[in-house]
Amino acid sequence: MAINKTLVEIIEMSKRTGSDSKLVQGGGGNTSAKTPDGKYMYIKASGTPLKDMSPAQGWRRMDLKAVRDIVADKSIVKLDVFSREDVVVKRLNLACDDDMPVHSRPSVEAHLHSLLDTHVIHLHPQAVGAYVNAKEGQVQVEKLFKAEKYPPLWVPYVDPGITLAHTVERLINGYQKTYSHKPAIIFMEKHGLFVTASTAKATVNLVRKVIRLCDSQLKTASNVKIKAADPVEINSARLAIRRAIFKTTGQYLSVSDYQNDTIADFAKRKDAKKLLAGGPLTPDEIVYANGAPMWLDKYDGEALCKKLQKQIDKGDKPSASFVIQGLGLFVAAEVRNQNTIYEVGTCSLFIRSNAARMGGVATLTARQREFINKWEAESYRQAISGAGTGGLKDRIAVVSGGGSGIGRGIAIGLARAGAMVAVSDIDTRAADETVAIIKEELPAANAITVQCNVTDENSVDQSFENLLNSWGGLDILVNAAGVAPAFPLTDFPVDKWRFALEVNLTGYFLMARAAARTMIAQGMGGALINISSKSGIDASKDNSAYNATKAGELHLTRGWAMELGEHDIRVNSVCPGNVFEGSKIWNPEYMKVCARKYGIKPDEVIPHYVNKTILKKEIFRQVIADAVVFLASDQSRCITAQTIVADPGQAVVR
């Protein structure tokens, strides 16, 4: 479809307003522009942030008459409320006249936009939110705009959907009778701001004017003295919140913490707890943030469990954000949704502080909250912001030696299973490559590089602290970093021997110790998986250090399983056969050593090992990843202290 002037205008309006976090929280709000001939209306598509609209995505073109006919159709109002909204959504989709993908739905408020001037911007600015969520907000707005020839129209709260459109239509008709002019500014109780004009420029300028006036009477926190929180306390709070969410909902969520002037200023209020106790302010607060932030005097995990369970028992969604006095705002959610919840939560704190000065905060009633939770349109918005699938969905995993070979394969396999993967390696460039591979295959996956020298205690401890700072927990550790110096016994250099012990044993010990400490503090159980080798159960020639360390890893596994079982931490081993794919161990030099050992040519080494297996198959790293995913999953919830030999039958265990 050719890019015309009207489409250019709506994209420009959307980007100019959508990039300002004071105007838009959580990607909410929408825009529209009608064509000069009055035949079509371009409108933002549901689920697309305003700032991301482009000629290729984020909008729909609609037949304007077909949209207006929906509002005029009196038969729709005779349906029960949810059947009514289902019909409206279907008719809005049918009103689309463009080449955009059918799954891209027009804003559910398109019928409301059709009633207004040619250009419309609908936003949820925090400055406006302070008024439309205050008990005396309408009175204050009338005072602010008393000098205007055409004052704003105030719309009392009405359930979203066609009912809201009918209410706005009725109020606009009444406004026109009084002023002989349509309203250009509409304050909608709990639903933000509508601004409309005959050009894109005039509409954007009018938005700025409204915000300036609203801001002039509000208190903004600035230069608040924020005391730096103890990192140990922050991590303890993250783990306590993550554990409480898991115990009450069964979800594995990442937890992040935030601090700014607005959060710190709100937390100092004597009435902070009371201001949050009333519940959510707006539909967006429910949809994007599971309601209002929860106030916590301290991070008591058991007390938090009870509060979350009480919410669930009442039919509400469990909180996704928490204000802890002295520590800040914590968000428990999928990583890609955390910043949105942070923005919505911070905006909520700002609104509540200012609404308290305007007669008090006006929250949604229980009936209104129930409607939002059931409303089809809001369910759609939630669905498109949700996560993907996978047996290890949102579990946090660390893979040592994840920069190459088996470790890389395991990291990729865990990501495919839905886990969040921290690729740990002393070689950060190699780890970055693994992360890039994961992102290329799975753009929505969460994968990060964590530099770590597994033989250095401080490096290991720092890497786990970095992990907690990033994601706030740990569910899976895979020890896969390893070396295999190959020499006959009589020629084995002692420094190579000691190096193998340091990497393959001390490294496994230090990583396991740090992981166990985190998992025990977290209280959610976990899985620790050691990558040993078939050489750990069936020794190979000229491999003294490798044989000893890989056998030692199996025994460490059994001992750790006995120690950690009471914490529901399962410890198992995987013994791969010879995995040549991407391996640093099977380098050209090592191939020559093996060739000499068996009296064959280097290019005959791989066929030689394949021929030693029962199934006569080469092992690829996904085979090992599959075994690890199984041991990390709930399918192996009663398996611990065991060893899976993942080869095509090279080592026969009896």
For 461-495, the pLDDT digits (tens) are 999 999 999 999 999 999 999 999 989 999 999 99
Q: What is the pLDDT of residue 385?
A: 45
| Cα four-point dihedral sign 399, 404, 405, 409 | positive
Contact indicator for 252, 239 with CB cutoff of 8 Å: no
CA distances for 364 relative to 1, 322, 372, angstroms: 42, 19, 10
Q: Among 128, 119, 114, which residue's Cα sits nearest to residue 13?
A: 119
Residue 529 has pLDDT above 60, yes or no: yes
* pLDDT, tens digit (0-9, with 9 covering 90-100), for 15-40: 999 988 778 876 678 999 999 999 99
Average pLDDT over residues 309-322: 92
490 CB-near residues (< 8 Å, 6+ apart) = none
Per-residue pLDDT, 587? 82
Give the tokens for residue 112.
Answer: 């409301």
List strand residue ranges (DSSP E) for 401-525, in order.
420-425, 447-451, 476-479
* Distance separating alpha carbons of residues 90 and 242, to the nearest angstrom: 39
Phi, psi of 541, deg, nearest 5: -70, 145
Alpha-carbon span 47 to 603, nearest angstrom: 54
- The per-residue DSSP string of 564-624 comes to HGGGTEEEEEEEE--B-TT-SSS-HHHHHHHHHHHTS-GGGHHHHHHHTSSS---B-HHHH
Quick check: 386 pLDDT over 70? no
State how far the Cα of 529 lies from the Cα of 626, in Å rounded to an integer.
13
Pick the closest to residue 266 from 356, 145, 181 (CA basis).
356
CA-to-CA distance for 481 and 157, rounded, in angstroms? 59
365 to 77, 80, 254, 344: CA distances (angstroms): 23, 20, 30, 19
Q: Residues near 543 by Cβ (< 8 Å), separated by ≥ 6?
A: 484, 486, 535
What pLDDT digit, counting tens, does each position of 69-126 carry? 999 999 998 888 778 888 999 999 999 999 998 778 999 899 999 999 999 999 999 9
Which is the catalytic residue, given 40, 157, 546, 609? 546
User: Residue 221: which pLDDT band, with cuts at 50, 70 and 90?
Assistant: confident
Structural domains of the chain ordered from first start: 5-215 (3.40.225.10), 231-384 (3.40.225.10), 396-584+619-646 (3.40.50.720)
Q: What is the average pLDDT value for the chain, to the nearest integer?
A: 92
Residue 575 tokens read as: 């013994």
| Selection from 60, 84, 57 nearest residue 73 by Cα | 84
Does residue 525 come out as left (phi exceeding 0), alpha (psi in the -120 to 50 range) or beta? left
pTM, 2 dp: 0.87
Give yes or no for residue 375 having a pLDDT over 70: no
User: Comparing 136-150, 245-259, 374-388, 531-545, which segment has the lowest mean pLDDT?
Assistant: 374-388
342 is catalytic: no
Burial of 202 (0-12, 13-18, 19+ CB in 10 A): middle
